[in-house]
Amino acid sequence: MKKFVLIGGECTGKSTLAAAIGKSYKIEVWDEFATQYAKDINDKEIRYSDVATIVAGQLDGQERKISAAQLKGDAFVLGDTDLISSYTYSKVLYHRVPEQLEATIKATRADAYFLLSPKHVPFRSAPERRQAINRSHIFDYFLANLNFFECKYEVIEHKSWNERFAAISNRIQAFLQ
C-alpha cells in the first residue's frame, strides 16, 4: 500500500483537496492534528512545549488511518500533512525540533508528497492560522525539508481547485502503476 501526503503552508487547500480525493477514491485520509489542537486550546498560542503533543497526535492519527486502509485493502492512503509539517513549523517558529523527530520522519515518510504552493490561493483568516508567517517563506522551508529528508515530491501550483485535483489524481495514478 502506498502513502501519499498533501503538504504545504496554511490555507493552500490541503484539507479541501484531501477530502475531495478521499471521497473520489473512497480511501482513508488522515487529518492534520495541529489544526484541531490549535482549536482545542481555544486560541492560545502554540508553544514549543506543545510540539511533542502535536507530533504524537499526528503520528497516532496517521497510524490509525494506515491500519484501517490496510484492513480494507486500499491501494493507497492519503494524508492531510504529516510529521514534516510539524518539523517545518517547529524549525521556523522555535528554531529547534523535538529529539528523535528526524528519525521518526525518516521511518514514516510517505511514498510521495504533493507540495501545495500558496500561489493563486488567497489566505482565509481563522483563529488557528498563524497569519504572521509569510506563505512564500514557509513554502521555501517545506521545499528545503522535503529535499533534506530525500522525499519524492511534486509541486502543485495550478490556479484552480479542479486543476490541482486533476494534477494530484494523475500523479497518484502514475505512482500506483
pLDDT tens column, 62-102: 999 999 999 999 999 999 999 999 999 999 999 999 999 99
This prediction's pTM: 0.92
Distance CA 70, CA 106 (A): 21
Determine how many CB atoms are found less than 10 A away from the CB of residue 135: 18
Characterise 42 by phi-psi region: left (phi > 0), alpha (psi -120 to 50), beta (else): left
Predicted confidence at residue 159, as pLDDT, reads 85
- For the segment 17-28, what is each residue's pLDDT rounded down to a tens digit? 999 999 999 999
pLDDT above 70 coverage of the chain, percent: 93
Model confidence at 32: pLDDT above 90: yes
Query: What whole-number distance in Å separates Cα of residue 87 and Cα of residue 51?
Result: 9
Question: pLDDT band for position 168 (50/70/90)?
Answer: very high
CB 112: neighbour CB atoms within 10 A? 19
The confidence score (pLDDT) of residue 66 equals 97
In terms of CATH architecture, what is 2-176?
Answer: 3-Layer(aba) Sandwich (3.40)
